[in-house]
Amino acid sequence: MNARQSILDKLYQTRDLADFIPTKAEAPKLPTWNDQQKLEKFTQMISAVNGEVHSCEKNNWPHKLLEIAQQNKLGNLLHAPQTEWGAVLAAYFQATEHQLELLEYPQSIDEEGFKEKLFFSIDAAFTGSIGAIAETGTLIVWPNQHEPRLMSLVPPVHFCILEKEKIWNTFAELIENAGWQKGLPNNALLISGPSKTADIEQTLAYGAHGPSQLIVLVV
Amino acid sequence: MSNSQKYTPNTSATSHIPVRQNDFNHQAHDALNDGQLRTNFRRAMDGLIAKRTAQFPDSDDLEARRLHAEAIRQRCLNKLPQLLEQLESNLKANGIKVHWAETAEQACEIIYGISECHQAKSMIKGKSMVSEEIELNHFMAERGIDCLESDMGEYIVQLAEEKPSHIIMPAIHKNAVEVAKLFEDKIPDHSYTEDIDELIQTGRRELRKAFFNADIGLSGVNFMVAETGTLCLVENEGNGRMSTHVPPVHVAVTGIEKVVEFLSDVPPLYHLLTRSATGQPITTYFNMISGPRGENEKDGPKEVHLVLLDNGRSQAYADAQMRKTLQCIRCGACMNHCPVYSRIGGHAYKTVYPGPIGKIISPHMMGLEQTKDLPSASTLCGACGDVCPVKIPIPSLLQRLRIELKRVVSSNDPQQVNMKGAGAGYNAIEARVWKIFSWIYSSRYRYKMLSWMASRFGKLLPNIGPVAVWSKVRSKPVPANKTLHQLMEQRSRQASGQSNGSDK
Ligand code: SF4
């Protein structure tokens, strides 16, 4: 008998023998906030774990991004001009004078030399988000064909844009209402701050394996 | 990587978990005498307890959430086989390959088989306690495949050729100075520093090369969602994302109990998990994987495999009481609050899962012969049960295991659960003593007789056997001159005498 059948048989055969009646309990009441409070809560929570939040206008955020990039002496930035926000960014950079080299993700990570470049010489990446969660200061990021998984992970600085009307109260509220049950992308992420660890003496250190800086541009 | 070659776990391939029988007392004794270890643990546990407390300011809210989480876990366990089948079919539909393993060996064989298919030479690992449980690193190393741990704590432990001492914070037994020395010894081109940021940056640099080169990435799983066919991973460092997104093949390995029915079951459990574990409102990353790299996608693994491991879980499942063991979401709060664990640390248990959860799950994985000392390595203070976010009644499960350990195993008792190693602690003399005890205590006259004798001659109790052990660091117990019954009788006589007197 194969392992699958054997395990399932054991579980099926024992389940009725054991008089195990699961307890029942209602979901506790979850916090809700108004739009202004949600933004404040989000900002407070993500800032507490070293996320940097900048509130911008719909028309000046690329300027803000450039400013931060210059302050941080970033040499290059990975972006996806095929996306709505990426296109705005690309247009702004075309019309502006700057030293920042704009890069694009090639057709595939396996393209000659790109993986090495991504791992060892790309300074920053810019991606969109599909919203946020106020309670925990969390960005919701769905990687896609234009902004693949490694964009928000490998470069040391991650810029992420967030539309302030898209902030949920809690993760539970999001799951209840966003229809994710109908189908999830191959990868969905919740990101709450830059990468961190407390594995040495419980002392917090940022920039463990993922980005050491997470910069959120709220529009 | 040079350091991974240096790593050879000192265990035999057959008994996957290194256990020297009846060794707990000695291990505990040694640990108690290690001042540095005790300082490291005390400081860490105090910190974790305070952080957890700060996350739950409202005790009513906490209780409501625990009840809800308990209900979710029990509902899902009650449907475990159905949910596993649903999960499997949804994962398959999403393009994830599912494997089943009854034992640790089978799981290792499966993972090795996948590696062989891809002619893998190196494996990078995100944190996975189940991979510790199956001793995967050792198995793969014997077959020429290097496994490198990428969680900072696991990496430190692997460099030190040790085992994790905590399920959430593997290197919690070490302080910064110890890590500094270790890195200086083992990592080329790294010069001594006690600066934690610098140490972490060194780890980052070393491991980045390994992520870049690895042929296979391995991870554990925190929740598997049957409804959508999704694997959820909880982490702070990004090594879990690196291990699951960078190499061309991702293998996830986890226990069969980790499945939940609905996506909506995840947020309440996740809410409690991170707060109970490290006192964080959320971890940096919550990584939900529902498929390998799609046709249009530019990165991500081309293959994703899931290995579902039984290894004794179905034994716990078979018993209505012990089934609750499987509610565990591996937050580690029970060990952080355990007076035994916080004094002796994780290594003294000699089991992959230490502390209270280890004491109730290890007997199912390893059998009671191998874990004889664990059910009684507890003060039954109840702290573990009080903090457990899914309300596992750990103390009563320990009591149950004590009974299983001492039971007279008979082959014709249909009620008897089929527990590996049941009766391993049976001792004929002890059983006889308890028989006599119950014979005396079940009769009023015999009981009176005994207590009379104890109060008269108790002082003559010879200082041998258990009495000698007890009195080594305590004074020898001396029974009182009068029994409680006698004292009570005396009191009521006096009282009635007095009240009669005042009536007159
Ligand atoms: S038994 Fe409870 S407290 Fe202990 S690790 Fe499991 S869920 Fe956490």
Domain residue ranges in chain A: 30-198+211-218
Q: What's the B139 CA to ligand 1 centre distance in angstroms?
A: 28
- CA B334 to ligand 1 center in whole angstroms: 5
| Pocket perturbation via mutation, ligand 1, pick of B234, B276, B322, B386 by most ligand atoms within 8 A of CB | B276
**Residue B464: exposure state from Cβ atoms within 10 A (0-12, 13-18, ≥19):** exposed
Beta strand pairing status for B230-235 and B223-225?
A: antiparallel
Q: Does residue A213 contact residue A158 with C-beta atoms inside 8 Å? A: yes
Q: Which two tokens stand for residue A148?
A: 């693949």
Least confident range of A177-181, B10-14, B146-150: B10-14
The verdict on the CB of residue B31 being under 6 Å from ligand 1 is no
Radius of gyration for the alpha carbons in chain A, expressed in angstroms and rounded? 21
Where residue B12 falls among pLDDT bands split at 50, 70, 90? very low
The dotted CATH code for A30-198+211-218 is: 3.40.50.10420
Mutate to test the interface with A, among B43, B94, B230, B236 (most CBs of A within 10 A): B236
Round the average pLDDT of chain B to a whole number and report it. 92
Q: Is the pLDDT of residue B4 over 80?
A: no
**Structure confidence at residue B486 (pLDDT):** 85
Query: How much is the pLDDT for A85?
Result: 97
Kindly state the percentage of chain A with pLDDT values over 90: 92
User: B500 falls in which pLDDT band (50, 70, 90)?
Assistant: low
How close A96 comes to chain B (CA, Å)?
A: 29
Of the residues B297, B325, B392, the best mutation for testing chain A's interface (the one with the most A CB atoms within 10 Å of its CB) is: B297
Give the model confidence (pLDDT) of A138-151 as tens digits: 999 999 999 999 99
Q: Which atom of ligand 1 lies nearest, measured to the CA of B330?
A: 5
The ipTM is 0.97
Give the mean pLDDT of A26-38: 95
Residue B416 has pLDDT above 70, yes or no: no
A190/B438 Cα distance (integer angstroms):
59
Instruction: Kindly give the distance from the C-alpha atom of residue A181 to the centroid of ligand 1, in angstroms, as a whole number.
Output: 28
Closest CA to B248 of B196, B299, B178: B299
With bands split at pLDDT 50, 70 and 90, how would you rate the model's confidence at B409? confident
When pLDDT is averaged across residues B115-135 and rounded to a whole number, the result is 97
Indicate the pLDDT class of residue A1, thresholds 50, 70 and 90: low
pLDDT exceeds cutoff 50 at B176: yes
* A205 contacts chain B (CB < 8 A): yes
Contact B149, B6 (CB under 8 A): no
pTM recorded for the entire structure: 0.92
Please state the rounded mean pLDDT for residues A80-92: 97
pLDDT digits (tens, 9 = 90+) for B241-296: 999 999 999 999 999 999 999 999 999 999 999 999 999 999 999 999 999 999 99
Q: How far apart are CA A104 and CA A127, in angstroms?
A: 12
First to last CA, chain A: 59
Give the model's pLDDT for residue B480.
86
Sign of CA dihedral B44, B45, B46, B52: positive
pLDDT range class, residue B415, cuts 50, 70, 90: low
pLDDT given for residue B469 in this prediction: 86
Backbone CA torsion sign across B405, B410, B415, B419: positive
Handedness of CA B88, A143, A208, B191 (dihedral sign): positive
Residue B13 has pLDDT above 80, yes or no: no
Q: Closest Cα of chain A to B69: distance in Å?
A: 8
- The kind and range of the H/E element at B105 are helix B104-117
Q: Find the radius of gyration of the CA atoms of chain B.
A: 27
For residue B10, the model assigns a pLDDT of: 40
pLDDT of residue B7: 36
- Is there an atom of ligand 1 within 6 Å of B360 CB? no
Residue B289, CB-side half-sphere exposure with 13 Å CA sphere: 34
- Tell me how far the alpha carbon of residue A41 is from its chain's centroid: 17
Mean pLDDT, rounded, for B461-481 = 85
All structural domains of chain B, each given as residue ranges with its CATH number in brackets, are 22-55+332-426 (no CATH), 58-316 (3.40.50.10420), 443-494 (no CATH)
